[in-house]
Structure 1
Amino acid sequence: MSIIVKQLTRRFSPGGSPAVSDVSFQAPAGAITSLLGPSGAGKSTLLRLICGLEVPDVGRVLIDGLDCTALPVQKRNVGVVFQSYALFRHMTVRENIAFGLNVRRLPRDEVEARVDEMLRLVQLEALGSRHPGQLSGGQRQRVAFARALAIRPRVLLLDEPFGALDTRVREELREWLHELHERTGLTTLLVTHDQQEALEISQHVVVMSEGRVAQAGSPEDIYDRPASPFVASFIGGASVLRGHVLEGRAALGSLALSVPAAAREGEAVHAFVRPHDIKLARSVSAAGAGERTPFMGRVERFKPVGGFVKVLLRMPSGDEVTVQVPRSEFEALGVVEGDAVRADVLTASVFVGDYAI
């Protein structure tokens, strides 16, 4: 069951800037689609428009071909999981899961059977009699998933469901969600600002910026073929280098890169380079060859971070570039702050024109 959004716009004050502006996309049936973007991009507002908690000023929402734009939330048959769990503290786990079923006045034996099924699905069979206060954060979020799934929703909507959890639990639940989706095949829409989360578990990604869709596509398309300077800078934490077109190449100080065929001589260019797409060397002979064009930089500072070292390079132009180097590789280089190094750019995204980054 796909979710189709057509030209949705929502303002919270007359004449004010829209929280969501002319948004259109399709979440494929049976896939996890992530709404990815920085805070304030309009992701949660868009999710609330889809589930019926907000009403659009303009546009339509279709779920499985049915126009749900004017339907109240209880008639859309969607399961929703929020970051805050939203569990009833005075109810047991079983009672929380059964809540939506009881509201729908299902027979008692059917409710009990469905609750048992959901407890098995989320692997909490032994905790049905506990209250939310007796559970860990990860367990509470699983109960929230079970309650959302118990009503047999047509689609599952997740609003930053792991945002309140620590890193280890978040990673565990991310893998658990992947396995849950494999078992259920339920069309899922996930709001997140976590790039790794979106790229790891999604089959489709919608990148949002300032209430609009910046790019939509597969995780590979979003990462390898960014459609705009915003997407290139946001995905992967790229550094930006500024220059101009010179003799058909992007001239960025001592660095020269390929440019789009239509680029005109003298036009401004921006190159976006991710930290792990640069290889450092102490000498020219140690660097790569072929199409990879190196530049010289000076080590401003560096900091070990786990198995990697984060290195800040300053180019002669004054631009700063962040490089991520495996710790053993950095130690073998033997460089210190202030040393000049050669940086071999493995890949970069180049855009022509003046942009506010």
Structure 2
Amino acid sequence: MSVIVEKLTKRFTAGGSPAVADVSFEAPTGAITTLLGPSGAGKSTILRLIAGLETSDTGRVLIDGTDCTELPVQQRGIGVVFQSYALFRHMTVRENIAFGLSVRRQSKAEVEARVDEMLRLVQLEELGQRTPAQLSGGQRQRVAFARALAIRPRLLLLDEPFGALDTRVRVELREWLHELHTLTGVTTLLVTHDQEEALEISQHVVIMSEGRVAQAGAPADIYDRPATPFVASFVGGNSMLKGQVREGRAEMGALIVAAPQSAREGQAVQAFVRPHDIKLAKKPAGNGLNGNAAVRVERLKSVGGYVKVLLKLPNGDTVAVEVPRGEFEELGVVEGDSVHADVRSARVFVGDFSI
């Protein structure tokens, strides 16, 4: 059951800038598709347009080949889970899960059987008689998932479902959601600004920027082959360095990488370098990649199993590097020392862009 979004545009004020502008993408059948982007990129607005909670100015939404643009919410066969859980505080867990079924006037026996099934699915069999106030945040979110799935939706929409939870619970529920999706196979759209979350559990990612689609594709394509400077800057914690093309290479101060084949001599370039794609050494590597130029260790910060190193280039630019703790200890440098930096991989764009 696929979802196709065609040229959706939505303004919340007459004559104002659109919150969503000419957005088109397809969410594959049975996959988790994640809408990823910074705050204000239009992700939640798109989800609400698909759900029927907002009305688009132009464009349409097709669910399983059917144009649902004008259909009311209750006729779209959609389950929605919000960040705020949206559980009824005066109801028990069982009553919350049963709510959508009762509205659809199913028999008491059918409702009870389905609620039992959902409690087993979300592993809360013993908590059916508790109220939301008696549950942890992670348990409440599982109840919200159970309520959304109880009606057997054709499509599941998740709007920042783990945003209100602490880091440990987020990681646990992320793995739980992956297992849940494997069991149910429901086509799912997830909204998040968490890159790790998107890349880990999605089969398809749509990067949003200022109400438009910046890039869509498999997580590996988004990460390894960013199509625009914005995507390269947003995904993967890149440092951005400016430079010029000289003799077929992109020179950014002390750092040198291969330039795009289309680049011409003297053109401005921007290179995006991830923290783990720079190799540090006390002596030049001798392969010419870094021009045998030294850079200064500006700041060091130990974080768990690796060390964050901030390098300052001769031209004043800075670049962040992450070095495994054991490798860093062998390197034996302190703040203020000079090291040689070998860029193993970078994404280079021709031109001087504002991100």
TM-score by length of 2: 0.98
Q: 3-state SS of the aligned residue for 2:250?
A: strand
Question: Paired residue for 1:351?
Answer: 349
Structure 2 residue 237 is the aligned partner of structure 1 residue 263: no
* 1:256 CA displacement: 2.2
User: Among residues 309, 313, 318, which one is paired with 2:307 in the alignment?
Assistant: 309
Structure 2 residue 150 is the aligned partner of structure 1 residue 150: yes
How far does the alpha carbon of each residue in 1:274-332 deviate from its partner, in whole angstroms, 9 at most, with x for none? 00111111111xx3748677653101111111111111100011110000111121122
In structure 2, what is the Cα distance between the partners aligned to 1:84 and 1:288? 56
In structure 2, what is the Cα distance between the partners aligned to 1:26 and 1:200? 20
One-letter identity of the residue aligned with 1:138: G
Q: What percentage of residue pairs aligned between the two structures are identical?
A: 76
Structure 2 residue 67 is the aligned partner of structure 1 residue 67: yes
One-letter identity of the residue aligned with 1:148: A
Question: Paired residue for 2:168?
Answer: 168
One-letter identity of the residue aligned with 1:315: L
One-letter identity of the residue aligned with 2:229: P
In structure 1, what is the Cα distance between the partners aligned to 2:143 and 2:292? 53
Question: Contact conserved, 2:290 with 2:340, CA < 8 A, in 1?
Answer: no
One-letter identity of the residue aligned with 1:18: P
Q: 3-state SS of the aligned residue for 1:329?
A: helix
Q: Which 4+ residue blocks in structure 1 deviate beyond 3 angstroms?
A: 287-295
Question: Contact conserved, 1:293 with 1:344, CA < 8 A, in 2?
Answer: no
Question: Contact conserved, 1:85 with 1:141, CA < 8 A, in 2?
Answer: yes
* 1:252 CA displacement: 1.4
In structure 1, what is the Cα distance between the partners aligned to 2:334 and 2:261? 40
Question: Paired residue for 1:127?
Answer: 127
Question: Paired residue for 1:114?
Answer: 114
User: Quick check: 292-301 or 205-214, which moved more?
Assistant: 292-301
In structure 2, what is the Cα distance between the partners aligned to 1:75 and 1:276? 48
Question: Paired residue for 1:327?
Answer: 325
Structure 2 residue 28 is the aligned partner of structure 1 residue 28: yes
Question: Paired residue for 2:296?
Answer: 298
How far does the alpha carbon of each residue in 1:143-173 deviate from its partner, in whole angstroms, 9 at most, with x for none? 0000000000001000000010011110000
Question: Contact conserved, 2:36 with 2:192, CA < 8 A, in 1?
Answer: yes
In structure 1, what is the Cα distance between the partners aligned to 2:312 and 2:299? 9
In structure 2, what is the Cα distance between the partners aligned to 1:144 and 1:295? 56
Unpaired stretches in structure 1, ≥5 consecutive residues = none
In structure 2, what is the Cα distance between the partners aligned to 1:333 and 1:84? 47
TM-score by length of 1: 0.97
User: Quick check: 36-45 or 295-304, which moved more?
Assistant: 295-304
One-letter identity of the residue aligned with 2:71: L
One-letter identity of the residue aligned with 2:327: E
In structure 2, what is the Cα distance between the partners aligned to 1:27 and 1:298? 46
Q: 3-state SS of the aligned residue for 2:90?
A: coil
Question: Paired residue for 2:204?
Answer: 204
Aligned residues: 355
One-letter identity of the residue aligned with 1:335: V
* 1:333 CA displacement: 1.3
In structure 1, what is the Cα distance between the partners aligned to 2:5 and 2:178? 24
In structure 2, what is the Cα distance between the partners aligned to 1:216 and 1:334? 42
User: Quick check: 287-296 or 243-252, which moved more?
Assistant: 287-296
User: Quick check: 252-261 or 175-184, which moved more?
Assistant: 252-261
Aligned-residue Cα RMSD (Å) equals 1.2
In structure 2, what is the Cα distance between the partners aligned to 1:196 and 1:243? 30
User: Among residues 305, 315, 318, which one is paired with 2:316 in the alignment?
Assistant: 318
In structure 2, what is the Cα distance between the partners aligned to 1:88 and 1:293? 64
In structure 2, what is the Cα distance between the partners aligned to 1:106 and 1:211? 40
In structure 1, what is the Cα distance between the partners aligned to 2:290 and 2:114? 59
Unpaired stretches in structure 2, ≥5 consecutive residues = none
